[in-house]
């Protein structure tokens, strides 16, 4: 991207660092990790592009909105790493491994408190959207554990889980600028629909890679979802097939037997579950692109469409 479409890295990182400043050293260190780790910054990138797609080359609160989106995402990751007992995040030790559970959880809460401060000078509608999104994230995570505990595997539950885990925050990232500036209902709906569908495609691709990818490709052992009892989309397709009882047994024992992951992986390819999942991802990506047609044609709209179009081709 060039010019107005370039991600304003320096301004964004400077504002992020400023917002995370604390007199407590451990909170500062975790904040520094967030800034220096970088990452793809996909969600704030969508926020900046949404401003541009609405015809705003600059807005005085755009950095605050983008930082607030990133803080909500980062706070959820701090909590997720603890819940998942993860050792590393982006190649570095997770915060709770370095500083302990209390520091990690409270630092995540600190990020949430700082985003509330940022939102205080915006609009009631935007504050409400952030609150609702945070609730969806919590519900998605808890529902995922509930489904695994009760063995209540269904497409409805799966879609609700991935909406909460991923798509709700992507929807917020894309639609927040429209809420802030009071854009037309059509433009608010277009950006929200785009973000939701792109987020769903993004998480579906993550789930597919976990089963159909390779360790060299995704940077971790395949089958992690199976070992946690998570019925992702390709698994749901297998549960409906001729070997559904076998797959359910493997899922319920968390792939504890040697060869379980390889068996499910082989069935997913042989019975078309991988291809069906890819088709579902492409359908969601197409919905995301179609939603954007309600916006005027522009380079920013083209960049947003490119995000969605690439969802099914992402390998990590």
pLDDT digits (tens, 9 = 90+) for 19-65: 999 999 988 888 887 777 666 799 999 999 999 999 999 999 999 99
What region does 234 belong to: left with phi over 0, alpha with psi -120 to 50, or beta? alpha
At 71-117, the pLDDT tens digits run 999 899 888 777 776 776 666 777 767 767 788 888 889 999 999 99
24 within domain boundaries: no
The pLDDT score that the predictor gives to residue 3 is 45
Percent of the chain with pLDDT over 90: 77
Residue at 85 is within a domain: no
- For residue 106, being part of any structural domain is answered with no
In this prediction, residue 316 has a pLDDT band, given cuts at 50, 70 and 90, of: low
Q: Mark 201-228 as b/e (b = at least 16 C-beta within 10 Å).
A: bbbbbbbbbbbbbeeeebeeebbebbbe
46: in domain? no
pLDDT band at 203 (very low <50, low <70, confident <90, very high): very high
- pLDDT above 50: residue 13: yes
Mean pLDDT of 160-179: 98
**Domain interval for residue 160:** 152-316
Which has the higher per-residue pLDDT, 294 or 93?
A: 294
Determine contact, residues 233/211, Cβ cutoff 8 Å: no
Residue 73 lies in a domain: no
Q: Is residue 266 included in any domain, yes or no?
A: yes
What residues have CB less than 8 Å from 309, skipping those under 6 apart? 285, 289
Give Cα separations from 66 to 13, 43, 275, 304 (angstroms).
10, 8, 35, 16
Number of domains the chain is built from:
1
pLDDT confidence of residue 32:
80
Q: How does pLDDT run across 117-145, given as a tens digit for each residue?
A: 999 999 999 999 999 999 999 999 999 99
Residue with tokens 């992507």: 170
pLDDT at 152 over 60: yes
Q: Residue 37: helix, strand or coil by DSSP? A: helix
CA gap 19, 29 in Å, rounded: 13
Q: What is the pLDDT of residue 90?
A: 61
Q: In this model, does residue 1 exceed pLDDT 50? A: no
Interior/surface letters 34-69, b for 16+ CB within 10 angstroms, e for the rest:
beeeeeebbbbbbbbbbbbbbebeebebbbbbbbbb
Helix residue spans in the chain (DSSP H): 9-19, 25-37, 42-53, 62-83, 95-99, 101-119, 124-150, 155-162, 168-181, 185-212, 215-218, 224-227, 233-239, 244-252, 260-270, 273-291, 299-309
Residue with tokens 């926020």: 47
Q: What CATH number is given to the structural domain containing 297?
A: 1.10.600.10
Largest CA distance in the chain: 60
On whether the CB atoms of residues 45 and 53 are closer than 8 A, the answer is no
Domain membership of residue 4 (yes or no) is no
User: Higher-confidence residue: 273 or 74?
Assistant: 273
Per DSSP, the three-state class of 210 is: helix
* pLDDT at 297 > cutoff 80: yes
**185 in a structural domain:** yes
Q: The pTM is what?
A: 0.93
């Amino acid at each position: 991207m060039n010019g107005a479409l370039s991600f304003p890295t320096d301004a964004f990182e400077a504002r992020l660092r400023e917002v995370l400043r604390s007199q407590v050293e451990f909170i500062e260190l975790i904040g520094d990790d967030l800034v220096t780790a970088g990452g793809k910054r996909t969600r704030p990138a969508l926020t900046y592009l949404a401003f541009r797609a609405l015809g705003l080359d600059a807005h005085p609160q755009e950095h605050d909105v983008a930082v607030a989106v990133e803080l909500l995402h980062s706070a959820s990751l701090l909590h997720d790493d603890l819940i998942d007992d993860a050792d590393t995040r982006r190649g570095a030790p997770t915060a709770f491994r370095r500083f302990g559970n209390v520091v990690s959880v409270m630092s995540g809460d600190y990020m949430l408190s700082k985003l509330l401060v940022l939102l205080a000078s915006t609009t009631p509608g935007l504050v409400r959207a952030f609150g609702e999104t945070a609730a969806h994230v919590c519900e998605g995570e808890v529902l995922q554990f509930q489904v695994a505990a009760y063995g209540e595997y269904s497409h409805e539950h799966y879609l609700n889980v991935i909406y909460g885990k991923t798509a709700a925050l992507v929807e917020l990232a894309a639609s927040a600028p429209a809420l802030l500036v009071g854009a037309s209902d059509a433009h608010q709906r277009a950006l929200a629909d785009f973000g939701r569908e792109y987020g769903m495609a993004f998480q579906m691709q993550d789930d597919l890679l976990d089963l159909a990818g390779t360790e060299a490709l995704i940077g971790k052992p395949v089958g992690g979802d199976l070992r946690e009892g998570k019925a992702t989309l390709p698994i749901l397709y297998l549960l409906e097939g001729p070997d559904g009882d076998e797959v359910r047994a493997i899922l319920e024992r968390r792939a504890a037997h040697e060869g379980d992951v390889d068996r499910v992986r082989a069935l997913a390819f042989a019975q078309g579950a991988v291809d069906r999942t890819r088709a579902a991802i492409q359908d969601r990506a197409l919905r995301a692109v179609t939603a954007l047609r309600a916006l005027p044609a522009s380079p920013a709209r083209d960049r947003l469409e490119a995000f969605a179009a690439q969802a099914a081709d992402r390998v990590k």
